[in-house]
């Protein structure tokens, strides 16, 4: 016979002690209970309060209480039977949590390639945007209802077909939509047979590194530059050569490397635009020396003062440029859709390699994105976001100027979701600590330099912040 329910006082204190406020409410309740069961504080057979009592004691809704118990039942921690209530179903005396990871012994367990990947430190984007996390679009402004309607329509029309394995190159209507959009708005010359749909630009970089680079091959990357690219090429064993960036974008190296990675439309992170003269010279070099160029056009849609220069790919007459774009910034990051436009000679190899990696991208997401573009919602959303982000960027610059922070020098590029700002040499670490103590995230600029000649500074993300967040965050920086 099960025990009588645990008393509210015990239950409430348990919840308060174990509470993890960052989690959704249902998960907070589950986490508190799981912990108590694992530690043996709630023994096998202990009866939990009814959902009505639980809801009243914790001032939560009955629906949340019900959902929490259902989750614990699905995980096997409790059983629920009519007339018996909810009862702890496992005994775990002496259960101990796994010891915290103290680092990975790469020499003992990983391949050389694996060790190189771990040594890069990986890439992690912020899970919850707050001032001034960089690189996040404003997801509150996304037309969720339109997305929901298109999703329902696609499922109604093509449900079963979208649930099977898909074309590793990408869903054909999406490839059509991407090729049309790029030709029209970015001057990219391609047809749908050159487009490969992938889960992210990062996957594209990793795939291209695997396919095009042998250990020791030279790769030119911008200095400062994108860490995701550095990590992908570095973990393939490439020899990375940082090439300085100035107001005209990446400088011209004396000869082409096996591969050159750059962000010509809106250099990451300085915001510079690669001049036409340098574009032509780099293409000429790549043709002469047999190098590949990866053009990462990650955020050129967000240009606030003028139209961006057309993509470098449109100037390429010899099939040396691989063009990358992502939907992470223009739609939403969790969509996990990006694309590569490949010279025809590389298409088959990339598609084959893709089958070895993850097969294909989710078909339903591709079908919904294709309709979203084809029916004009994409163009509308971009127009609105350009206005919204442009006004936030202007507000940030205006507030920074009004605050007269003589130690912080913003370097506004022509667009983007964040801007670089310079700090006096040697001050980045201390100022970052002080900003952190005031609840402000200030991603590091110096971390984006590979060489010894680093510049101290921050990246200040503005696109995902409401006006009041920007005003408040600048005031806190000023204090
Ligand atoms: C230069 C650059 N390329 C690509 C990306 C990310 O794209 P994805 O989410 O598709 O990997 C970022 C993200 O911040 C970026 O800064």
Name all domains of the chain by residue range, CATH numbers in brackets.
8-88 (1.10.10.10), 142-376 (3.40.640.10), 380-478 (3.90.1150.10)
Choose between 10 and 409: higher pLDDT. Answer: 409
For residue 225 and ligand 1, the question of a CB distance below 6 A is answered with: no
Choose between 101 and 469: higher pLDDT. Answer: 469
- Between the CA of 99 and the centroid of ligand 1 the distance, in Å, is 34
Q: Among the atoms of ligand 1, which is closest to the Cα of residue 263?
A: 1
The residue whose CA is least distant from atom 15 of ligand 1 is: 298
What band does 152 get if pLDDT is binned at 50, 70 and 90?
A: very high
- Between the CA of 301 and the centroid of ligand 1 the distance, in Å, is 13
The residue whose CA is least distant from atom 6 of ligand 1 is: 201
Which H, E and C letters describe the chain, residue by residue? CCCCECCHHHHHHHHHHHCCCCCCHHHHHHHHHHHHHHCCCCCCCCEECCHHHHHHHHCCCHHHHHHHHHHHHHHCCEEEECCCEEEECCCCCCCCCCCCCCCCCHHHHCCHHHHHHHHCCCCCCCCCCCCCCCCCCCHHHCCHHHHHHHHHHHHHHHHHHHHCCCCCCCCHHHHHHHHHHHHHHHCCCCCHHHEEEECCHHHHHHHHHHHHCCCCCEEEEEECCCHHHHHHHHHCCCEEEEEEEECCEECCCCCCCCEEEECCCCCCCCCCCCCHHHHHHHHHHHHHHCCEEEEECCCCCCECCCCCCCCHHHHCCCCCEEEEEECCCCCCHHHCCEEEECCHHHHHHHHHHHHHHCCCCCHHHHHHHHHHHHCCHHHHHHHHHHHHHHHHHHHHHHHHHHHCCCCCEEECCCECCEEEEECCCCCHHHHHHHHHHCCCCCCECHHHCCCCCCCCEEEEECCCCCHHHHHHHHHHHHC
Q: Among the atoms of ligand 1, which is closest to the Cα of residue 125?
A: 14
- Between the CA of 326 and the centroid of ligand 1 the distance, in Å, is 7
The residue whose CA is least distant from atom 12 of ligand 1 is: 298
- Between the CA of 349 and the centroid of ligand 1 the distance, in Å, is 23
pLDDT exceeds 50 at position 67: yes
- Between the CA of 298 and the centroid of ligand 1 the distance, in Å, is 6
For residue 331 and ligand 1, the question of a CB distance below 6 A is answered with: no
- Between the CA of 427 and the centroid of ligand 1 the distance, in Å, is 28
Looking at 34-38, 254-258, 264-268, which range is the least confident one?
34-38
pLDDT 10s digits, 386-432:
999 999 999 999 999 999 999 999 998 889 999 999 999 999 999 99
- Between the CA of 335 and the centroid of ligand 1 the distance, in Å, is 13
For residue 202 and ligand 1, the question of a CB distance below 6 A is answered with: yes
What band does 32 get if pLDDT is binned at 50, 70 and 90?
A: confident
d(C-alpha 38, C-alpha 425), whole Å: 51
To test the ligand 1 pocket, which listed residue (230, 269, 298, 418) has its Cβ within 8 A of the most ligand atoms?
A: 298
pLDDT exceeds 80 at position 13: no
- Between the CA of 31 and the centroid of ligand 1 the distance, in Å, is 33
pTM: 0.80
The residue whose CA is least distant from atom 2 of ligand 1 is: 298
For residue 194 and ligand 1, the question of a CB distance below 6 A is answered with: no
pLDDT exceeds 90 at position 433: yes
pLDDT exceeds 90 at position 156: yes
For residue 338 and ligand 1, the question of a CB distance below 6 A is answered with: yes
pLDDT reported for residue 142: 98
The residue whose CA is least distant from atom 13 of ligand 1 is: 135
- Between the CA of 202 and the centroid of ligand 1 the distance, in Å, is 7
For residue 339 and ligand 1, the question of a CB distance below 6 A is answered with: no
Nearest Cα residue to 236 out of 261, 218, 224, 250:
218
What band does 23 get if pLDDT is binned at 50, 70 and 90?
A: confident
For residue 296 and ligand 1, the question of a CB distance below 6 A is answered with: yes
Choose between 402 and 113: higher pLDDT. Answer: 402
Q: Taking the CA of residue 237 as centre, how many other CA atoms within 13 Å lie in the half-sphere pointing to its CB? A: 13
For residue 302 and ligand 1, the question of a CB distance below 6 A is answered with: no
Looking at 23-37, 86-100, 440-454, which range is the least confident one?
86-100
For residue 203 and ligand 1, the question of a CB distance below 6 A is answered with: no
pLDDT exceeds 60 at position 258: yes
d(C-alpha 397, C-alpha 400), whole Å: 5
Residues in CB range of 226: below 8 A, 6 or more apart: 261, 263, 268, 269, 296, 448
For residue 298 and ligand 1, the question of a CB distance below 6 A is answered with: yes
- Between the CA of 201 and the centroid of ligand 1 the distance, in Å, is 6
Are 211 and 353 within 8 A, CB to CB? yes
To test the ligand 1 pocket, which listed residue (126, 134, 326) has its Cβ within 8 A of the most ligand atoms?
A: 326
For residue 328 and ligand 1, the question of a CB distance below 6 A is answered with: yes
What band does 478 get if pLDDT is binned at 50, 70 and 90?
A: very high
- Between the CA of 381 and the centroid of ligand 1 the distance, in Å, is 19
For residue 326 and ligand 1, the question of a CB distance below 6 A is answered with: yes
Residue 35 structure tokens: 């912990």
Residues in CB range of 324: below 8 A, 6 or more apart: 201, 204, 205, 294, 295, 296, 297, 298, 338, 339, 340, 341
- Between the CA of 15 and the centroid of ligand 1 the distance, in Å, is 39
- Between the CA of 11 and the centroid of ligand 1 the distance, in Å, is 45
Q: How many CB atoms lie within 10 A of CB 181?
A: 19
**Tokens 């057309």 correspond to what residue?**
310
- Between the CA of 163 and the centroid of ligand 1 the distance, in Å, is 28
pLDDT exceeds 90 at position 468: yes
Q: How many CB atoms lie within 10 A of CB 111?
A: 9
pLDDT 10s digits, 285-298:
999 999 999 999 99
Looking at 93-97, 198-202, 248-252, 271-275, which range is the least confident one?
93-97
pLDDT 10s digits, 310-359:
999 999 999 999 999 999 999 999 999 999 999 999 999 999 999 999 99
């Amino acid at each position: 016979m099960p025990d009588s329910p645990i008393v509210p006082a015990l239950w409430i204190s348990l919840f308060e002690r174990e509470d993890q406020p960052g989690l959704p409410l249902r998960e907070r309740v589950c986490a508190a209970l799981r912990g108590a069961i694992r530690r043996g504080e709630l023994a096998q057979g202990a009866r939990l309060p009814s959902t009505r009592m639980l809801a009243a004691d914790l001032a939560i809704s009955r629906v949340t209480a019900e959902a929490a118990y259902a989750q614990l039942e699905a995980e096997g921690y409790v059983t629920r039977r009519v007339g018996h209530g909810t009862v702890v179903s496992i005994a775990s005396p002496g259960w101990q949590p796994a010891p915290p990871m103290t680092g990975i012994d790469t020499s003992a367990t990983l391949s050389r390639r694996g060790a190189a990947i771990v040594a890069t430190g990986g890439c992690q984007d912020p899970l919850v945007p707050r001032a001034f996390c960089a690189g996040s679009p404003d997801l509150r402004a996304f037309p969720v209802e339109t997305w929901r309607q298109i999703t329902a329509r696609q499922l109604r029309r093509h449900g079963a077909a979208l649930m099977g394995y898909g074309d590793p190159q990408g869903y054909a209507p999406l490839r059509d939509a991407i090729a049309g959009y790029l030709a029209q708005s970015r001057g990219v010359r391609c047809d749908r047979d050159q487009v490969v749909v992938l889960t992210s630009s990062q996957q594209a970089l990793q795939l291209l590194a695997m396919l095009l680079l042998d250990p020791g091959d030279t790769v030119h990357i911008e200095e400062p530059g994108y860490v995701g690219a550095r990590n992908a090429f570095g973990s393939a064993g490439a020899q990375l050569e940082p090439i300085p960036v100035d107001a005209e974008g990446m400088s011209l190296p004396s000869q082409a490397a096996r591969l050159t990675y750059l962000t010509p439309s809106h250099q990451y992170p300085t915001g510079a635009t690669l001049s036409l003269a340098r574009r032509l010279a780099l293409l000429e070099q790549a043709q002469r020396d047999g190098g590949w160029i990866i053009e990462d056009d990650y955020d050129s849609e967000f240009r606030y003062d003028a139209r961006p220069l057309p993509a470098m790919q449109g100037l390429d007459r010899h099939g040396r440029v691989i063009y990358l774009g992502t939907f992470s910034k223009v739609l939403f990051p969790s969509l996990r859709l990006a694309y590569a436009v490949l010279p025809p000679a590389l298409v088959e190899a990339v598609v084959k390699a893709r089958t070895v990696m993850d097969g294909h991208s989710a078909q339903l997401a591709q079908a919904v994105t294709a309709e979203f573009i084809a029916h004009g919602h994409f163009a509308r959303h971009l127009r609105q976001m350009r206005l919204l982000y442009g006004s936030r960027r202007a507000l940030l610059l205006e507030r920074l100027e009004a605050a007269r922070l003589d130690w912080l020098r913003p370097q506004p590029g022509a667009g983007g979701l964040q801007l670089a700002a310079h700090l006096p040499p040697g001050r980045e670490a201390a100022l970052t600590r002080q900003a952190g103590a005031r609840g402000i995230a200030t991603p590091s600029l110096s971390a984006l330099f590979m060489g010894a000649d680093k510049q101290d500074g921050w990246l200040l993300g503005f696109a995902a912040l409401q006006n009041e967040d920007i005003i408040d965050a600048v005031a806190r920086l000023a204090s």
